[in-house]
Amino acid sequence: MSLETLFSPYRICPIGAHIDHQGGEVLGRTIKLGTTLEYQPLDSKEIRITSEHFGKAKFVIGTLDKTHWIRYAQAAARVLNPKRGMKAHVTGSLIGSGLSSSASVGLAYLKALADVNDIELSNEQLVHLDFELEHDQLGLQNGLLDPMSIIYGKKNALLFMDTVTGSVFPVIDPPSNDSAWVVAYSGLSRELTKSGFNVRVAECHEAAAFLQKGAWKLGDVPQEIFEAKKFSLPENIRKRADHFFSEVERVHLGRQAWAESDAARFGQLMNQSCASSIRNYKSGSDVLIQLHEIVSSTSGVYGSRFSGGGYGGCVVALAERDLAETACKKIAEKYSAIHPELPSQVFVAETGDGLQ
């Protein structure tokens, strides 16, 4: 087989923070930044990877070192268990920035390994294999938002995704859409397994079990039961549950606002989502909160929220298209004046299709 190339995009989630792992519906879409993987088969069980950021490494299928940068390729090989390996070169920008670079690279490895082994995988299988890769192999208590967004992404649509049934409903961008997506990278990367992410997920499970016997996820609990029992919950897990139920509502309102081309309303919901993430979910570092406040107070920006786990990485915003570039410059100037030591970036993100 000759050298092949695939592109696995990054994703943004404008509304739907921290609820996919609890069975909540979410909104997401893909952008033109992502992981590019060039690969070809090897007639052995060995996988050799070179990276523009990390150098080179090789391993035998079945091994796993969770401390090594090659762990996503190792985990992909373990869940797929192919008969032969490959030689590959991986490139990508803004790694660990909150744009789901981890799911992006994991899906790239899965698809490439399947290709060199003549394994046919459906979109649904790819989604669940990536979940196994991150959840079972690497220990991240994640949901399906990231792989679903990356697999089903459409350039001209916002995705409304049911993380329980796996259903995806594209909400086509209105013809009158005059908005643009802005990404503001704080310059601080993070790794979810080393942040407070898994702790928050455990607290959500605790809230579900407290509210209803036998419930594992908050999505299993009717909202009326939460409303009736919420003040009997310990404060910390009550706040996690409050975030879940209010965020699910914001997702549905956001879907409606997008369909109606109401960018101002959509931006308000993004701000409300971020406020709940800070107040109720207790995510967000001081630096990221500061960046969010700068972004959302900039002229031309409808609203913004943290992207990813919220402990570092990016703020994603919706802005007026004609003012987006100017807004990026203003945000960059304000933030850089406060944190000149950080390698921050602010740019208009073009939307793109899913895994290709």
Strand partners, 49: 57, 88
Cα 29 to Cα 13, 99, 172: the distances in Å are 7, 11, 11
Q: Is the pLDDT of residue 120 over 60?
A: yes
Report pLDDT for 309: 63
- 191 and 332 share a domain? yes
Report the percentage of the chain scoring pLDDT > 70: 96
Q: What is the CATH number of the domain that holds 101?
A: 3.30.230.10
Contacts of 88 (CB under 8 A, 6+ apart): 37, 38, 39, 40, 47, 48, 49, 50, 73, 109, 112
Task: Measure the CA angle with vertex 113, ends 28 and 189; round to 5°.
Answer: 45
Residues 29, 159: contact at Cβ < 8 Å?
Answer: yes
Last residue of a domain, one of 150, 169, 188: 169
The answer to the question of residue 356 being in a domain is no
* Mean pLDDT in residue range 86-91: 96
Q: Which of the two residues, 284 and 127, has the higher pLDDT score?
A: 127
Tell me which residue has tokens 């704080």: 186
Residue 191 CA to its chain's centroid (Å) = 12
- 310 and 205 share a domain? yes
* Mean pLDDT in residue range 77-97: 91
Query: How many whole angstroms separate alpha carbon 333 and alpha carbon 58?
Result: 42
State the sign of the Cα–Cα–Cα–Cα dihedral 270, 276, 279, 285.
negative
* Mean pLDDT in residue range 40-62: 95
Residue span of the structural domain in which 328 resides: 174-349
- 183 and 134 share a domain? no
Least confidently predicted of 39-48, 168-177, 305-314, 340-349: 305-314
* Mean pLDDT in residue range 117-121: 97
In the chain, which ranges are E strands? 4-12, 26-41, 46-51, 55-60, 86-92, 157-161, 168-172, 179-185, 301-307, 314-320, 345-349
Name the DSSP class of 61: T
Report pLDDT for 35: 96
* Active-site entry in 115, 146, 173, 242: 146
- 145 and 202 share a domain? no
Q: Of 97, 95, 114, 107, which is closest to residue 147 (Cα–Cα)?
A: 107
Query: How many whole angstroms separate alpha carbon 300 and alpha carbon 319?
Result: 6
Report pLDDT for 192: 45
Report pLDDT for 286: 87
- 332 and 295 share a domain? yes
The answer to the question of residue 336 being in a domain is yes
Amino acid letter, 343 = P
Query: How many whole angstroms separate alpha carbon 95 and alpha carbon 93?
Result: 6
- 148 and 215 share a domain? no
What total number of domains does the chain contain?
2
The answer to the question of residue 304 being in a domain is yes
Query: What is the H or E stretch that residue 208 is in?
Result: helix 197-211
- What is the phi/psi pair of residue 5, to 5°? -135, 135
Query: How many whole angstroms separate alpha carbon 286 and alpha carbon 108?
Result: 33
- 108 and 193 share a domain? no
- 218 and 329 share a domain? yes
Confidence grade of residue 310 (pLDDT, cut at 50, 70, 90): low
Contacts of 337 (CB under 8 A, 6+ apart): none
Q: What value does the CA radius of gyration of the chain take, rounded to a whole number of Å?
A: 20
Q: What is the CATH number of the domain that holds 216?
A: 3.30.70.890
Last residue of a domain, one of 169, 201, 222: 169
Q: Is the pLDDT of residue 164 over 90?
A: yes
Least confidently predicted of 38-52, 85-99, 172-186: 85-99
The tens digit of pLDDT for each residue in 29-46 reads: 999 999 999 999 999 999
What is the average pLDDT score of the chain? 93
Q: Is the pLDDT of residue 195 over 60?
A: no
Q: Is the pLDDT of residue 313 over 60?
A: yes
- 184 and 205 share a domain? yes
Residues 193, 140: contact at Cβ < 8 Å?
Answer: yes
Report the percentage of the chain scoring pLDDT > 90: 86
Confidence grade of residue 189 (pLDDT, cut at 50, 70, 90): confident
Last residue of a domain, one of 169, 184, 203: 169
Q: Of 46, 50, 93, 52, which is closest to residue 74 (Cα–Cα)?
A: 46
Q: Is the pLDDT of residue 69 over 50?
A: yes
Q: Is the pLDDT of residue 193 over 50?
A: no
Query: How many whole angstroms separate alpha carbon 146 and alpha carbon 137?
Result: 16
- What is the phi/psi pair of residue 115, to 5°? -65, -50
Active site residue 146: yes
- 106 and 199 share a domain? no
The answer to the question of residue 354 being in a domain is no
